[in-house]
Amino acid sequence: MLKSFTRYAFCVVATGAVSLANALTYGNTSPFEVQSNHSPNYVLGVQVTIPQTISLQSFGLIYGLPGQGTNISNAIFGLYSSDANSGLPQTLMAVTNPINVNTAQTYDNIAFTSTPNINAGTYWMMALYQSQASPRMSLLNGGSMVAYWSNSYGAGMPTNAPGITTYFGQNFNYWVNGNVVPEPVSLVVFGVGALAAGLRKRRR
C-alpha cells in the first residue's frame, strides 16, 4: 500500500523527531485495524515503493490501539534496499537512533542518522524492538509480504541482511519521509532561467 502526500508544516509528536518542510511521505499512513504483538530481537518489516529520487529524512509509524494494553519498548527503525534477484531486504540505507515507544499514538519524523539520496525503487521498512511491541497492523491483504530475521536488539540493525524468512498476510503502519531531489535536467533548466533573468535585469 502506497500513500504519498506533501507536508507543509509539522508538529513534533515523539522524542527524537525532526521538523520537515515540504517533505513527501511514502508508506502506510492510514491507520490499520489491529495492533500487532511483535516479539523482541527480530528485524521485521514490509515493502514500500518510492517512485522518485529522494533525500531520505525520517521514519514514522502508528503504534498501538487505545485501551488495548499497548506494550512499551525501545525500538530502532531502518530502510533496506531490495535484492535485484530475490526482492528481499539487502543493504541498510539508513537507520534511526533508538527511540522509546510507550503509548498508543503516531510517532512521526523519527530522524535517520544520515540522509542519503536514494533512487526510485522498492525498499523495506524494518523495525527492531527490544521487548514485546505493539505497532498497528492490517490483516486484510493476503498478498502483503513480511520479511524478518533473528537479531539481538543490542547488536543493532546489520549493514547487510542475513538469512531471511518471509510470510504473507500482514502489513504495518510504517512510512518514510524524504525530500525530492531535482533531476539534473531540471537543474539545468533552472540555471538557464536564472541566467536569462539576470541578463534581463542588467539590460534595464
Query: What's the 3-state SS for the chain?
Result: CCECCEECCCCCCCCCECCCCCEEEEECCCCCCEECCECCCEEEEEEEEECCCEEEEEEEEEECCCCCCCCCEEEEEEEEEECCCCCCEEEEEEEECCEEECCCEEEEEEEECCCCEECCEEEEEEEEECCCECEEEECCCCCCEEEEEECCHHHCCCCECCCCEEEECCEECEEEEEEECCCHHHHHHHHHHHHHHHHHHHHC
* pLDDT at residue 114 in the model: 97
Q: How many CB atoms lie within 10 A of CB 34?
A: 14
Q: Kindly indicate the confidence band of residue 8, based on its pLDDT and cuts at 50, 70 and 90.
A: very low
Flag whether 166 is in a domain: yes
Domain region containing 127: 6-203
Distance CA 95, CA 82 (A): 16
- Give domain status of residue 122, yes or no: yes
Cα–Cα distance, 15 to 67 (Å, whole number): 22
- Domain annotation covers residue 85: yes
Residue 73 lies in a domain: yes
Number of domains in the chain: 1
Q: What is the pLDDT of residues 99-115, one digit of tens each?
A: 999 999 999 999 999 99
Classify the phi-psi angles of 148: left when phi > 0, otherwise alpha if psi is within -120 to 50, otherwise beta.
beta
What CATH number does the domain containing 174 carry? 2.60.120.820
Entry pTM:
0.81
In a domain, 86, yes or no: yes
Q: Is 1 a member of any domain?
A: no
Measure the CA–CA gap between 182 and 80, rounded to whole angstroms. Answer: 23
Does 188 fall in a domain? yes
pLDDT in tens, 142-190: 999 999 999 999 999 999 999 999 999 999 999 999 999 987 754 444 5
Residue 183, domain member (yes or no): yes
